[in-house]
Structure 1
Amino acid sequence: MSLLTVNQLKLQFGGLIAVNDLSFTVEKNSISSIIGPNGAGKTSVFNMITGFYRPTSGAIELDGISLVNRKPSQITTLGMARTFQNLRLFPNLTVLDNVKSGMHCRTKQTVWGALLRTKSQREEERLIEEVALECIDFVGIRKYTKRAAKNLPYGAQRYLEIARALATRPKLLLLDEPAAGLNYEEKQYLIQLIRRIRDEYNITVLMIEHDMGLIKQISEQITVIDYGCKIAEGSPEEVLNNEKVIEAYLGKEDVI
């Protein structure tokens, strides 16, 4: 059953068509990827799905609910979270406070509750911290809980951004080049972490990624785009042996 449905999606900036007639689905509890050469339109697709860009035309649905013309905050509330190619953490806040900020979309208390320190406000604060610590533990950065985000090793910053996204309690997690800048050991840990996110939290994962070794190990379904158009779709084996993909993205020498 499809969790995310993208149908005939188009994004145009003046005379430039960034994404054209793109359709694909993401099945519930799957790990799927979008790949393509630099400038193919991958991040533009993510930006439309998450409400940062408004599509020129086309449809996007999450669990049967249209996302078109919704604000990013509304889409988050509906059950979608994302990370970014370039880290967007609060550098001067601690790891704990960064992750707690991800719970904002799930809070119910008003400013008066915060000022008056009501029982319900205190209970909600306790729950927020409990969930944040759970997410920090899950991604493996508990030892950094009280450290400012800017003082973390780069790999830990990547995992922190994932923890913050998990704190929103999403149905669908979008990861934009999560392996960028990671060394071999960190990438292997990331692969296991993504599998655990799907298997233990029942969260569907959709990635953009350039690391083909990682893609081959973890993806169950791959959509390939070039110049904003879909040129292939299928399993890793099907896609990575597709002549159009080899020509547009991989290069013949990269495929065995």
Structure 2
Amino acid sequence: MSSLTVKNVTLKFGGLTAVGDLSFEIPAGSITSIIGPNGAGKTSVFNMITGFYRPTAGQILLGNESLVGKKPSQITQRGLARTFQNLRLFPNLTVLDNVKSGMHSRTKQTVWGALWHTPAQKQEERLIEDVARDCLAFVGMDASRYRIAKNLPYGEQRYLEIARALATKPHVLLLDEPAAGLNYEEKESLIELIKRIRQKYGLTVLIIEHDMGLIHKISENVIVLDYGQKIAEGAPAEVLNHPRVVEAYLGKEEEAM
């Protein structure tokens, strides 16, 4: 397991500061959530951690290794995987092939091995399929492995993204609004799935989410952002009642004249 550290990170787009001097540490094996109003900088933080954006300043560490300047594929190889707020599946591929695609960063065979179908290449193909099916079975989708991804119900597509992320064998799993579009029963199942993921794989889990009920049930620690700044951090019950958090979500009450 690896801890994840964000230290004095700033992200600017021209004259706009999307994230300003942000610091936090995600302990190994924990479940932590990042919350905040729309435009608070949550997804920008995920994009910096996973290499889609490069911070203007600051450090991002996985264990003792810096992630700044590394490509998303290199970061995946080091044990960090993510899902996306807007699903990024291969819609015309099967469920199984979608999960197998997540293991690309872990494959070792060269193009020559694929062309000549060497014994090592065949062995690796079998391993990839076994791991993919294990991940699908874990999220309850192995029976759907030959279905085309775009034909799945929306909730199952969410689970498919999680299975694909697990196939990369991560140490840290980042979930970007995993409950978006799910009904109450699906959200309750998602909570249990995240708990089982942490229990079985021993992962560090970092979540962006708007559903406060889910945040309260799943999180051990909550970080609150507003306009790219951290305004609160702590246990869910404490943070969700913090005056600055209430103000960020509901606005400041006008004083009586």
Considering the TM-score relative to the shorter chain, is it more than 0.5?
A: yes
Give the residue type in structure 1 aligned to 2:162: I
Count of aligned residue pairs for this structure pair? 252
Q: Distance in 1 between matches of 2:170 and 2:23?
A: 22
Q: Distance in 2 between matches of 1:249 and 1:35?
A: 10
CA offset digits 1:30-65 (Å, max 9, x no partner): 000000000000000000000000100000000110
SS of match in other structure, 1:233: strand
CA offset digits 1:47-103 (Å, max 9, x no partner): 000000010000000011000000000000000000000000000000000000011
CA offset digits 1:136-179 (Å, max 9, x no partner): 00011122110010000000000000000000000000000000
Distance 1:250 1:35, change over 3 A: farther
Match of 2:223 in 1: 223
SS of match in other structure, 1:74: helix
Give the residue type in structure 2 aligned to 1:56: T
Give the residue type in structure 2 aligned to 1:128: I
Match of 1:199 in 2: 199
SS of match in other structure, 1:34: strand
**Is 2:153 the counterpart of 1:153?**
yes
Matching of residues 55-134 of structure 1 within 5 Å: 55-134=55-134
Question: What TM-score do you get using the length of structure 1 for normalisation?
Answer: 0.97
SS of match in other structure, 2:249: helix
Distance 1:26 1:2, change over 3 A: farther
Question: What TM-score do you get using the length of structure 2 for normalisation?
Answer: 0.96
> Where does the alignment leave 5 or more consecutive residues of structure 1 unmatched?
none
Instruction: Tell me how large the CA RMSD over aligned residues is.
Output: 1.2
Distance 1:202 1:2, change over 3 A: closer
Q: Is the 8 A contact 1:2 1:26 kept in 2?
A: no
> Where does the alignment leave 5 or more consecutive residues of structure 2 unmatched?
253-257
Q: Distance in 2 between matches of 1:251 and 1:4?
A: 32
Q: Distance in 1 between matches of 2:82 and 2:125?
A: 24
Per the TM alignment, residue 194 of structure 1 is displaced from its structure 2 partner at its CA by 0.3
**Is 2:217 the counterpart of 1:211?**
no
Q: Is the 8 A contact 1:49 1:60 kept in 2?
A: yes
